[in-house]
Structure 1
Amino acid sequence: MDKIEQVIKEAGGVSALAAALNIKPPTVHQWKSGDRKVSPRLALVISQKWPGLVTVHDLRPDIFGPAPADGGQEAA
């Protein structure tokens, strides 16, 4: 399952995610279909509202780069 689909499911559906982000449902449908990318601003909001489920790196690697290999944790 795609990361944005996981967020949609966790939020309770397309309309619920749109309402939580104060955007219109067609925008979320466009993310799901791949017709449109999540804006960098909303990628930050989504990653903060659903921590552990998705990161900005998952949603916009073209802007924020790939996820750190160690998840941001350094080995002892």
Structure 2
Amino acid sequence: MTMPLDRVIEILGSQEELAARLGIKSPSITGWRNRNRIPSERCLALEEVTGGQVTRYEMRPDVFGTAPAEARAA
């Protein structure tokens, strides 16, 4: 199973591109990968940069819960 962060990086083309879009340094993202946890405060921005292809609900169901029915149907 592909992890949500890996999908975000795949969509954007590289970890460096993701870091640039968020205005952070690439090692921060490496830390997220090592901890296998995306900071909840970054989930909305990641959802936005992927055009909703990766949702906050996928990234952090412990914080955002399950996707609303209309989002799952899309």
Q: TM-score scaled by structure 1?
A: 0.76
**4+ runs of 1 displaced by more than 4 Å?**
none
CA distance in 2, matches of 1:72, 1:12: 25
Q: How many residues are matched?
A: 72
Q: Which has the higher contact order (CA 8 A, sep 6+)?
A: 2
Q: Which residue matches 1:32?
A: 33
Percent of counterpart pairs with the same letter?
Answer: 32
1:25-64 superposed matches below 5 A: 25-33=26-34, 35=35, 37-64=37-64
Q: CA-to-partner distance for each residue in 1:19-59, whole Å, 9 max, x for gaps?
A: 111111111112223x1522222101111121332100111
State the Cα RMSD in Å: 1.9
**SS where residue 71 of structure 2 aligns?**
coil
Structure 2, unaligned runs of 5 or more: none
Structure 1, unaligned runs of 5 or more: none
Q: TM-score scaled by structure 2?
A: 0.78
Higher helix share: 2
1:60-75 superposed matches below 5 A: 60-68=60-68, 71=71, 73=73
Q: Which residue matches 2:15?
A: 14
